[in-house]
Copies of this chain bind each other. A is one copy, B any other.
Amino acid sequence: MLPSKETEAGLSVAGRVRAVFPPLVTPFRADGALDLGTFEANLDLYTPHDLGGVLVLGSNGEAGSLDEGEKLALVGIARAHTQGRLLLVGTGLESTRGTIALTRKVADLGADAALVLTPHYYKARMTSEALARHFEAVADASPVPILLYSVPAFTGIVWPAGLAEALSAHPRIVGIKESSGDVGLLARLRAGTPPSFAVVSGSAPTFYPALCVDASAGILAVACCAPGVVAALYRAHEAGDHGRAGDLQRALMPLAVAVTAGHGVAGLKAAMDAAGFHGGHVRAPLLPAGEAARREVASALDNLRATVA
């Protein structure tokens, strides 16, 4: 029985954030229109894998390039195809008011938890106090648990020391996704929050060392195109098999780098195409992956298969 299946009765959401989750991409057609059928097809392709659920409307989902109607359609479809597993949904907007409104709507559609991005336009004003009030207000108003979401490469905001530790006292703030790849920060977050608080790695190139400092889970782009390997890494560490976990991490590294720092969402979509999933087009202003990028991700994927097989 899959670990995500046996937990419906009573286990908290945070308690179920102990696994690997792909942050789903949003497939577009060549003309930029949403391709919901392809999105749906991907969801079913993930079903057989050892995953804790999925994240919709994250950074890899090009959430900032979607309008609200598109977002809600994606959530509805994801809910229908993620039965028995966690449906995490990114709801962070620039304003507290907008974030609350969207969080309520996705909760109505069945989201299990909301991932709330750091607001970041007015960078210099996003003090620890401003961020604390924002996350607290969202959590106060949210019908579902909240995961904080820090991703400095996109927001330009370094996560403030002590903020997650303070917010972890809120009954509906149940974890944080930390995507900078700073393993030392993950370790400090782990040390400063209760064991029930989920400290989630958002950086595949450091997933194994993150697990070594007791990260709870991974929401990792590379899990969109290589879910089996990432899940196997997670389980190897869980079983105390450091040798195998380290081997899988080394094998994953080139692909993990290529689909994030290397070529971004367009690279991830190309890797999904090469792996039998459906990446589809990106939405402008993102540029499509060039030939060289496509070859690089395909080659990284081939090497991964050869190594792991």
Contact = CB atoms under 8 A, between A and B. Distances in A.
Given A214-B246, A246-B214, A67 B285 contact: no
B182 A285 contact: no
A283 B188 contact: no
Interface residues of A, number: 61
B124 A261 contact: yes
A213 B249 CA distance: 9
B187 A284 contact: no
A208 interface: yes
Main secondary structure of the interface of A (DSSP, over half): helix
A191 B250 contact: yes
Contacts of A119: 285
Contacts of A95: 62, 64-66, 283-285
Given A65-B97, A121-B64, A122-B265, A134 B285 contact: yes
A203 B156 CA distance: 21
A265 B125 CA distance: 9
A206 interface: yes
Contacts of A122: 154, 264-265, 285-286
Contacts of A214: 246
Interface in A35-57: none
Interface string A157-195: 000000000000000000000000111100110010000
A284 B137 CA distance: 9
A159 to B, nearest CB: 14
A153 interface: yes
Nearest to A205: B184
B65 A285 contact: no
Contact of A125 (B96, B203, B264): B264
Nearest to A94: B64
A98 interface: yes
A94 B121 contact: no
A210 interface: yes
Given A133-B284, A187-B209, 4 more contacts: A65-B95, A133-B285, A133-B287, A187-B206
20 contacts: A59-B121, A64-B94, A64-B95, A65-B95, A65-B98, A96-B283, A96-B285, A121-B154, A122-B264, A123-B154, A125-B265, A125-B286, A133-B285, A184-B203, A184-B205, A206-B209, A208-B213, A209-B210, A212-B246, A213-B246
